Amino acid sequence: MKDKVAIVTGAASGIGLAVAQTLAAEGCRVVMADVNAAAGEKEASAIGALFHSADLSRRQGCRDLVDAALAHFGRVDILINNAGIQHVAPAVDFPEDKWDFMIALMLTAPFLLSKYCWPSMQERRWGRIIHINSVHGLVASPFKSAYISAKHGLSGLTKTLALEGGKDGITVNSICPAYVRTPLVDNQIADQARVHGLSEAQVIETIMLKNAAVKRLIEPAEIGKFVLYLCSDAAACFTGSLLTMDCGWTAT
């Protein structure tokens, strides 16, 4: 990984931060992107990364991020599409502007960022694109129509890009975790409690861990280690894969 250049989105906290920290520790030159500039700059400084404030729900925000990475480092080798949000509501009540925003951030942005990074990877005949997808890229749950639609779309994008990139040494994979202990999940717990009329403890037990064989939340650092493996040459034959990291959720 030494001197590879990696872009990590949604990198100011949670999974994105853990991924950025893991890659930086292995010698990657990391570009951390997030809308939270204060937290992002602080965390980037701590690991010697470059921070770029980016609204990835906008096409220009995606273009500017990749341009900043290319201007600073001259190349992009690794792209980790992680940025995302959650909103819980019945589909009939789902705000239309929230739908547009979530699809733009979690499906259109990964497409655009992959498109903009592609020529740099193609030039060197080596690239790694990893989408931080979700178990909800494989199965559905109620009250998450936009999130699940975006993640299912991301699963299709993963497979298509993998078929297109193979000849140029570019692999494209999705990691599909169950619930990870992040600020995003903390917010989901409160939302689910409100929607279902449950306590937050009941949400964790009866909703989040209901389908899991291993009854615990996943730690962000575990995702970081999995990303590191997929970026390595040892994982060169993994491409187009929707890799479950779901504590057994989809085993049945």
Contacting residues for 131 by C-beta, under 8 A, at least 6 apart: 81, 110, 154, 157, 158, 172, 173, 174, 175
Instruction: Assess contact for 226 and 234: CB atoms under 8 A.
Output: no
Is residue 116 part of the annotated active site? The answer reads no
Q: Provide the phi-psi class of 27: left if phi over 0, else alpha when psi is between -120 and 50, else beta.
A: left
Catalytic residue of the set 116, 147, 179, 229: 147
Q: Can you say how many angstroms the Cα of residue 82 is from the centroid of all Cα atoms in its chain?
A: 2
Q: Which helix (H) or strand (E) holds 31?
A: strand 29-34
How distant, in Å, are the alpha carbons of 67, 110, 180 from that of 128?
Answer: 18, 13, 23
Q: Cα–Cα distance between 37 and 16 in angstroms, integer? A: 14
Q: Cα–Cα distance between 31 and 242 in angstroms, integer? A: 25
Query: Which DSSP state fits 246?
Result: S
Q: Cα–Cα distance between 140 and 153 in angstroms, integer? A: 13
Instruction: Assess contact for 229 and 241: CB atoms under 8 A.
Output: no
Q: Cα–Cα distance between 9 and 35 in angstroms, integer? A: 9
**Catalytic residue annotation:** 147
